[in-house]
Structure 1
Amino acid sequence: MAVETVAAAEGEAQKKNRIQVSNTKKPLFFYVNLAKRYIQQHNEVELSALGMAITTVVTIAEILKNNGLAIEKKVMTSTVGMKDENKGHVVQKAKIEIVLGKSEKFDLLMNAADVPPESASKDEE
């Protein structure tokens, strides 16, 4: 996989709270839900993507921020050299990394999403 090759080439240890996004492998909300779980477990998540998958990472970050679940901590952009398997030479690819932190309302919003409407009314009695 190209993304894992880049991480290895950069000498990075695989972080437990990093999601490397591909725009071809999984649906958007798979990544949104995974990011929520990582924020719950680690208090922050790092979303990372190369090339055409950058738009997917930005969309995931915006969904989480607009729903009040996350706050933006850091955005980093760079280019990485990758060997093109077809042409045999190194091509430059854009890379983005977005670090999102847990919002103050995160736990409240996540707990509200877990409670079915009928059980909420029983608690009020």
Structure 2
Amino acid sequence: MEEITEGVNNVHITAADAHKSNRIQVSNTKKPLFFYVNLAKRYMQQHDEVELSALGMAIATVVTITEILKNNGLAIEKKITTSTVDVKDESRGRPIQKAKIEILLGKTEKFDELMAAAAEEREAGNGEEQN
């Protein structure tokens, strides 16, 4: 029990890292790609920027989300951070190192205009379906 307490006491988390309301931790198994694309758009509407974070194989998903948002004129890259983190491997019982990426995206100047146009298109499309 002492070891656990000692380990917990040695963990230092800054207030900014403890809970970022604009951070999305991406998994390539839990949700479909466009769930994350749409969530990122919503976070940018609320916070003007979004941080996408992923480990290991999910890194490709984060890069794809970033490229979709950039190619649609919605986001610009503000910062990209790569690192390596120790993750406990349950099958081996010892920590393994995994690559980590964090990409900070900001809204483009045309973000609000493009989002408003997309919302209008959806509303117009819904009206046509009902006729």
Tell me, yes or no, if structure 1 residue 99 matches structure 2 residue 104.
yes
Change (3 A) 1:103 1:83: same
User: For residue 119 of structure 2, what is the amino acid of its counterpart?
Assistant: D
Note the alpha carbon deviations across 1:58-95, whole angstroms, 9 max, x for none. Answer: 00000000100001000000000111111001100000
User: For residue 114 of structure 1, what is the amino acid of its counterpart?
Assistant: A
Tell me, yes or no, if structure 1 residue 55 matches structure 2 residue 60.
yes
Question: Unpaired runs of 5+ in structure 2?
Answer: 1-10, 125-131
Question: Unpaired runs of 5+ in structure 1?
Answer: 1-8, 120-125
More helix, by proportion: 2
Structural mapping, 1:76-115, within 5 Å: 76-115=81-120
- TM-score when scaled to structure 2? 0.81
Shift of 1:52: 0.4
Shift of 1:117: 7.8
Q: Which runs of 4+ in 1 moved over 2 A?
A: 9-12, 116-119
Structure 1 equivalent of residue 26 of structure 2: 21
- TM-score when scaled to structure 1? 0.84
Larger CA Rg, structure 1 vs 2: 2
Distance 1:56 1:86 in 2: 25
Structure 2 equivalent of residue 123 of structure 1: none
